[in-house]
């Protein structure tokens, strides 16, 4: 499926502003600071709406509300599970400065009686990535993983993402074979997940889509031999650089599974070997932990 | 100074609930969800109030407002620089659940005309650390550093923390000699800072004091040869376990200094070799970066 999508993308690539991701994260101004949205069923895993997609939608609303264009640091606390359908994002400008501005956003959906149920609350600081100096002094190295054509996607035998997942048709993920043991019942026991990431319609990455990328791979808990759900409690993403066009590499690491919780640290690298995003989430470990 | 304080502590140790830290993070209920506080000059570095101390004070107010006692995940966006003196914390309960509850808190101070200026806004999810299962499956190892008596404090020659810093009298920090090169003009060039952490009056660690601990060591930028100020933009701390009594070990790492920003990842380990807290902050690099 992703394979076919990739080939389609190679013939007619979607562009930033005109892609499945852009259409499905669209927000419509209802009144000052309030945006209507439709959570697309196209970004669900089993029945859950992907948390990274929701983060990107919130980030898009904040980008419209704040004077600065790019998310530098986005902190999200996940309150209740979102479902496909209507939603509203209520934003507040907390502070505006010369180089940085900070805002808050909440995603709500509607109960049967029409009352609003809060799904996610976010604090975020925005800036202008293009205004940053070019200095880079990093000791971080891109994750070691095989070439993209040596990695495994849904079309390569056992589905790396179990169950029927609409999101697998919108993503073009190829996992490092060293981190797909779980898909054939042989998890490595290491808290690692690595892979190549793209959008299936060929849309290039930008700071907003990075908010999806940091939470789009299978959970490291699968490689720890845990098969259950790992709901995110909190996720903070830092966008460090505007990503270059082309495929991204994502490496996720869990070092501490304890007390029924685990952290997932994600790094995203672009085709120019720049570390473009870092994230950490605290998640509940599956029951069988 | 810290040395003297340590000896004093050994004769009469402060206890949780009756210590400099507890007195200086005290909040007084003004009305439902609103707490008055006094930012102590005792926790300043040069003229800035330490960000970890402020985080602990906010965490304490949220602990009083929320039904669960312990901070599990605290995300703070730093808006304006706090100064010693009166402050008010306004809290909001976002969601209460069976095992977790989420709240928001803002720290305000007063302008000359009496109007409120927001300093920090926080989203936090609380739970009960004592209710967590004992399972630990971690690949994380305590930081390698010399024994405490082989590490260096303010009394050991060049002040590891430059300038006159009241906070050094309240903390009992002994830095790994491998990360104090900056103090004698010979920074290692590595983005690493490690040390033993305690409160000078001997008060043992608890989940609240861990919020101070994650932001109490000198910045890694000093070992990168940068001497300027590194203001925190965002800091998220996860408390993973109730700390055992006794000294803590703190290891802070910066891997990516780019575009005028850097991340600082902190790990805190207790005397029982448990990873008790993890944090990451995004900070502005000093001008001379």
Structure tokens belonging to residue B45: 């570095």
Return the pLDDT at A114. 94
Residue in chain B lying closest to A283 (CA)? B73
- Kindly list the averaged pLDDT for each block of 10 residues, start to end, along chain A of length 289: 52 90 98 98 90 98 98 98 97 98 98 97 98 91 96 76 76 95 92 97 98 96 90 98 98 97 98 98 83
**pLDDT for residue B90:** 98
The first and second tokens of residue B69, run together, are 């006692």
DSSP β-bridge partners for residue B266: B252, B279
Strands B34-39 and B70-78: unpaired
Q: Tell me the sheet residues that pair with A241.
A: none
Q: For residue A279, give both structure tokens.
A: 């994230």
CA B136 to chain centre: 25
Establish if A129 touches chain B: CB-CB under 8 angstroms. yes
What pLDDT, on the 0 to 100 scale, is given for residue A140? 92
CB atoms within 10 A of CB A155: 13
Write the ipTM: 0.94
Task: Residue B38: count other Cβ atoms within 10 Å of its Cβ.
Answer: 16
Q: pTM of the prediction?
A: 0.94
Distance CA A17, CA A35 (A): 18
Q: Give residues 180 to 209 of A whose Cβ lies within 8 Å of B.
A: 190-191
Residues of B in contact with A257 (CB under 8 A): 135-138
* Sole residue written with tokens 């850097």: B262
- End-to-end CA distance of chain A, in Å? 32
Helices (H), B71-189: 167-170
Q: Using DSSP, state whether A289 is helix, strand or coil.
A: coil
pLDDT of residue B12: 78
User: Which residues have a Cβ under 8 Å from the Cβ of B127 and sit 6 or more positions away?
Assistant: B68, B70, B72, B99, B100, B101
**Are the beta carbons of B121 and A289 separated by less than 8 Å?**
no
* pLDDT tens digit at each of 289 positions of chain B: 455 555 554 567 999 999 999 999 999 999 999 999 999 999 998 778 999 999 999 999 999 999 999 999 999 999 999 999 999 999 999 999 999 999 999 999 999 999 999 999 999 999 999 999 988 888 899 999 999 999 998 888 665 555 558 898 999 999 999 999 998 899 999 999 999 999 999 999 999 999 999 999 999 999 999 988 899 999 999 999 999 999 999 999 999 999 999 999 999 999 999 999 999 999 999 875 4
Chain A contact present for B83, CB below 8 A: no
């Amino acid at each position: 499926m992703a394979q076919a999508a990739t080939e389609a993308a190679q013939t007619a690539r979607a562009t930033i502003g005109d892609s499945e991701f852009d259409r499905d994260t669209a927000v419509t101004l209802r009144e000052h600071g309030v945006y209507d949205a439709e959570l697309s069923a196209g970004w669900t895993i089993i029945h859950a709406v992907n948390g990274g997609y929701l983060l990107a939608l919130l980030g898009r609303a904040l980008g419209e509300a704040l004077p600065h264009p790019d998310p530098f640091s986005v902190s999200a606390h996940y309150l209740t599970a979102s479902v496909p359908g209507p939603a509203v994002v209520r934003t507040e400008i907390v502070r505006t400065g010369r180089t940085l501005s900070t805002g808050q956003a909440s995603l709500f959906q509607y109960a049967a009686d029409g009352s609003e149920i809060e799904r996610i609350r976010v604090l975020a600081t925005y800036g202008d990535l293009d205004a940053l100096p070019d200095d880079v002094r990093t000791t971080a190295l891109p994750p070691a993983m095989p070439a993209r054509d040596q990695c495994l996607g849904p079309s390569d035998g056992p589905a790396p993402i179990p169950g029927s997942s609409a999101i697998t048709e919108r993503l073009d993920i190829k996992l490092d074979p060293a981190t797909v043991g779980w898909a054939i019942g042989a998890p490595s026991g290491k808290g690692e997940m690595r892979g190549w990431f793209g959008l299936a319609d060929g849309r290039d990455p930008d700071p907003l889509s990075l908010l999806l990328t940091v939470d789009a791979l299978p959970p490291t808990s699968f490689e720890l031999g845990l098969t259950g759900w790992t709901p995110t409690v909190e996720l903070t993403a830092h966008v460090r650089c505007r990503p270059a066009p082309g495929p991204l590499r994502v490496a996720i690491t869990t070092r501490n599974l304890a007390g029924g919780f685990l952290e997932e640290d994600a790094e995203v690298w672009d085709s120019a070997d720049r570390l473009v995003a870092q994230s950490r989430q605290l998640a509940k470990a599956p029951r069988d932990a």
